[in-house]
Chains A and B, each alone.
Chain A
Amino acid sequence: LTFRARQPDDLAIAALWALAAFCAIALAPLAPMLAQLAPACPLHALTGLACPTCGATRAALCLLEGRWSAALAINPLATVALVAGMVGGLVAPVWVIAGAPIPEVAHRRALRLLIVALLASNWIYLVARGV
């Protein structure tokens, strides 16, 4: 992980991230009803196998009810991503406005391998658990 100076797009990305986080907070009371609108997983419907994002909606609903362990059990990667998304949306604008250095992954190959490993292990977990 390396750090770089602020670039023109950084503030806009941080502001949009914050916008999404605040929209999510505003929608929280309606989440159970809106969850009905989430499209059914075509892979699960066709094969009975979970796709890498299966259970993400249920994990989000569990998080809103404060059931952290249940959310982690349903889809660990989606739960971590949702929490990181919310926390990042609140922290990123303050971080950028404060002029703090922006973290960046220098080793692209390592990042690629890490992403693939995380997605694959989470997917194996979902399929094995029958989410």
Chain B
Amino acid sequence: MLRGPRLAFERVPLTTSLFRPFAFGFIVHLIAVWCDTFWQVALRGVWSEYVPTTSEYHVSTIAKIIGGMTAPLWVPIVLLISVALQHLFLVIVGGARGGFGATLRAMSYAYAPQILALVPLCGAVVGLVWSVVLVVIGLSVLHRISLGRALLSVLLPLLLCCACAAIAMALFGTAILAALSSHH
């Protein structure tokens, strides 16, 4: 999966039980959450130095530990909600040809690089970016759609938010210019 993702996804059977890919995604995600929690608690001094957070977004160590302990219960929810949202965006771009099962298989196996959370500080981020790349390849192969369409379905939420932000900033800029010109 990590060295030859396209070939690996082409070998994923679409007829076997969905529990196997789900179990794979669940275990990898769980390990990633536990490692991430461990590193965040163990290296909290380093974290606060390099990643300054405001009091608004500060999460207590106790909350992080409870979050890690209850991960076996919330990881399945997060997995299924992320698969459902991704499938929704595939439907929007007209790429959900393989059904919900194909999206679940693609995303579950694409979580493989998140095992990099074993590496402190940068491992989780590298794993996340690598996972996004694998999601695009997995969706493309399992739904039999082009890489561009799969990429669009993955980036659509981000693109929509960026477009919204750009429109808001343009309106804000126009309002400021109008106010300045009327002032003169």
Contact = CB atoms under 8 A, between A and B. Distances in A.
B69 to A, nearest CB: 10
Interface in A85-131: 85, 108, 111-112, 115-116, 123, 127
B76 interface: yes
A23 B165 contact: no
A115 B59 CA distance: 34
A34 B67 contact: yes
> A interface, how many residues as a size bin?
20 to 34
Interface stretch (B12-20, B41-49, B115-123, B142-150): B12-20
A46 interface: yes
A111 B168 CA distance: 28
B15 A27 contact: no
Which label, helix, strand, loop or mixed, suits the secondary structure of the A interface? helix
A111 B67 CA distance: 37
B46 to A, nearest CB: 20
Contacts of B88: 115
A98 to B, nearest CB: 20
Interface stretch (B2-10, B94-102, B132-140, B174-182): B94-102
Main secondary structure of the interface of B (DSSP, over half): helix
B77 A24 contact: yes
Nearest to B165: A47
Given A108-B94, A112-B91, A43 B101 contact: no
A20 B57 CA distance: 27
Nearest to B72: A23
Given A8-B15, A9-B18, A49-B165, A112 B94 contact: yes
Contact of B76 (A9, A16, A47, A115): A16
